[in-house]
Structure 1
Amino acid sequence: MLLPLFHVSVLSLYAYSLWYDQQYLDLPFPAKGYEEMPFKARLMFLTMWCLILQSVYFFLSLMNDFFGSNEPFPRKRPIIRLVKDTVFSLAFALAVYVGSSFWSIYHFDKELIFPEKIERIFPRWLNHSMHTFIVLFILIELFATNKNYPPRKVGVAIATTFFLSYLIWMHILYERTGAWAYPIFKVLNLPARIAFFAVSILGGLTLYILGEKLNGLVCRPPRPSPKKQKKR
């Protein structure tokens, strides 16, 4: 019973965070072109992509609690469990990447990632919901539930496609509006940006493999009994 309660609590927080952002927050846009975009142009931020993905994951987890299976290694995984486990592999890497990169840049120079003019109107609880709690909750999920990661080639391909999709989207926005979503890219020249993007993707994939390794420690496959080994 505790697991569904945890999942519905996290999902409720994320849903409220998304609703509050759309209802009450009016952030300054980097350029006029962003004003015409739906969802208050929030999809220019990787943070918002991450929060939506976390919401989808915890919704799938809640559905799996009632209609799937939380066994460590079920003989036949229900579809909802298969989808949930695959989404987790990406959700973990993205949550840890967003949280660690945001707070690292924030403490180095917050004007590059979270300017004072935005921080003044941005509720502190919402900032932590988007950049702190996402890491805390996905770590709790990692150690509290059983998951079967997809084959590494599949998982890495999904993660790489996701990160590249965001980078392409960010450049499309820049070409259309003439302004970067994040202030940090204003101070980076082309070689520095390329290096930043390459390190970011490599870091995201490293976090993916870290999640896979940690999950392997938490959810170990059962050892074959001595009798079965002798028969072989």
Structure 2
Amino acid sequence: MFRPVFHLCAATINAYTILYDQLYIVLPLPAKELEDLPLQSRSMFLTMWCLIMQTIFYCIAFMNDIFGSEAKSSKRAPIIRKIKDTLFSLAFPVAIYVSLAFWSIYAVDKQLIFPDHIERLYPKWVNHVMHTTVAIFIIIELLSSYRSYPSRATGFFIIIAFNCSYILWMFVIYMRTGVWVYPIFDHLNWFARAIFITASVCVALTFYILGEKLNSMVCSSTSSPQETYANGKSKSR
């Protein structure tokens, strides 16, 4: 019973936060061209990409709770279970990266990532849903559900494709507007920007491997509900 309730709550909290952001928060933009970006310019932020992905993941996880399977073996799992497992392999490293990157830079100099004039526009609960609970929720998911990771090659392809898509979008915005999405890039030269981006992708891949290893440990040390029930029946006989 915990899993469907948790998945529904996580999806609802994330979806409401996106809706609140779109309806009630008006960001001052440094360039008029940014006003034409999707989601009222929020599509330029990795945070929003992450939050939308997390919302989709928990919706799929909830649907899997109702119509799919939580069996430890997924060899004959329904398609929704396979989608959930594969999406988790992306959702985990992105959520951990967004949370750690944001709060690490915030601790050093918040003006580089969340300037005062922007921070004042966001209620604290919105900021924490975007940058804190995404990591907390995905860790709870890691510890409470069963999943089969895709192959390492497939997983790396997915995480690299996601990161490259966002990086490309960030450069498209810069070429169109002359504005960097994050103020930290204004303080770096092109070589430093390349190092920063490369390091960020490497960190994301590291978090992918961490999620893969932790998942292996969690799923190998526990039994699924179906297995527990079956074992109990066998012993009673």
TM-score normalised to the size of structure 1?
0.94
Give the residue type in structure 2 aligned to 1:14.
N
Structure 2 equivalent of residue 79 of structure 1: 79
2-structure distance, mates of 1:205, 1:38: 28
Give the residue type in structure 1 aligned to 2:172.
I
2:74–2:82 contact (8 Å) kept in structure 1: no
Structure 2 equivalent of residue 94 of structure 1: 94
Deviations 1:140-188 (A, max 9, x none): 0000000100001001111001001100110000000110111111111
2-structure distance, mates of 1:15, 1:208: 25
1-structure distance, mates of 2:129, 2:39: 18
Q: How does 1:206-221 map to 2 (within 5 A)?
A: 206-220=206-220
2-structure distance, mates of 1:33, 1:49: 20
Q: Does 1:167 align with 2:167?
A: yes
Deviations 1:200-226 (A, max 9, x none): 00000000000000000011299xxxx
Structure 2 spans left out of the alignment, 5+ residues:
223-237
Q: Does 1:136 align with 2:131?
A: no
1-structure distance, mates of 2:68, 2:153: 25
TM-score normalised to the size of structure 2?
0.92
Give the residue type in structure 1 aligned to 2:5.
L
Structure 2 equivalent of residue 28 of structure 1: 28
Q: How does 1:1-232 map to 2 (within 5 A)?
A: 1-220=1-220
Runs (4+) of structure 1 exceeding 6 A deviation are none
Give the residue type in structure 1 aligned to 2:47.
T
Give the residue type in structure 1 aligned to 2:108.
F
SS in 2 for 1:58: helix
SS in 1 for 2:220: coil
Identity in percent: 50
Question: Aligned-pair RMSD on alpha carbons?
Answer: 1.1
Deviations 1:77-99 (A, max 9, x none): 11000000000000000000000
1-structure distance, mates of 2:101, 2:50: 13
Structure 1 spans left out of the alignment, 5+ residues:
223-232
